[in-house]
Amino acid sequence: MTAAPDATPEASPADPPAAPPARAPAAPPVGPEVDPTPRPLPARLPHRGGAVTLEPLGVRHAEELWEATRGAEESWAYMGYGPFPDFPGFRRFIAGFATTHDPMAWAVRPHVSGRASGWLTLMEIQPANAAIELGNIWFGPRLQRTRAATEAMFLLMRHAMDDLGYRRLVWKCNALNAPSRRAAARLGFVPEGVHRAHLVVKGRRRDTAWFSILEDEWPARRDAIAAWLAEGNFDHTGVARRPLRAGEGAERAAG
């Protein structure tokens, strides 16, 4: 008996198109590569400019600095220390302050007077991050708003950025400290914002305003400050012929 032929199979629906290959997830954004080499620590060495010399702070400066504090009661308002009621207490403070490595302090000796009239430091030193801060600045009344004061800050700025190769230079202050904020802008620091309730200083809340100069911004800032400090910018009485605005336009650029 002949077997019946198999029934013709029904046509199967068309196979669905193959799915496209899965895309690899997009890589998350990351920052640019930088030289990760840790930067050197600053050393206790003097720095000499045209109008001022910075000397590693020592107890030998205490008497001259004590003299510089006369009539400067309001200058301690935003500092973490001071005012000092007597010379022995002030001398003990200078003796201890001079031994710290972070902050590392220099006494400021203007050439005009020849006497130590203030101090400033490099602090919050982070070699692995190539970040460093210019801070703890105290200038006596006769030093404030002078060529020597500007050059004192510039000498440490240049040392940190050019000599030691740091990538980020920080300035921070009490957000209520208007003179310090103006000084930061004048030197070309770019505002970064305010950390609210950042610290407690002398029993009071401190909001901290932050500023910085980065390595790619530094050459223009350095050249502007150096040009302002040049002899030709000062008349026979020592008054600058033009103002310093090293960071002119920085606020607009930051925005």
List, for residues 23-75, the tens digit of each pLDDT value.
888 999 999 999 999 999 999 999 999 999 999 999 999 999 999 999 999 99
Amino acid 7: pLDDT: 56
Contact 216, 229 (CB under 8 A): no
Residue 144: Cβ-neighbour burial (10 angstroms; 0-12, 13-18, 19+): middle
Q: Which stretches of the chain drop beneath a pLDDT of 70?
A: 1-15, 249-255
* Distance separating alpha carbons of residues 151 and 52, to the nearest angstrom: 7
Buried b (16+ CB within 10 A) or exposed e, 192-230: eeeeeebeeeeeeebebbbbbbeeebbeebbebbeebbe
Contact (Cβ atoms closer than 8 angstroms) between residue 184 and residue 170? no
What pLDDT does residue 1 have?
A: 52
Q: What is the pTM of this model?
A: 0.88
pLDDT of residue 17: 75
Asked if 40 contacts 94 with a C-beta cutoff of 8 angstroms, the reply is: no
Query: What integer pLDDT is reported at residue 190 of this predicted model?
Result: 98
pLDDT at 125: 98
CB half-sphere exposure, 40, CA atoms < 13 A? 10
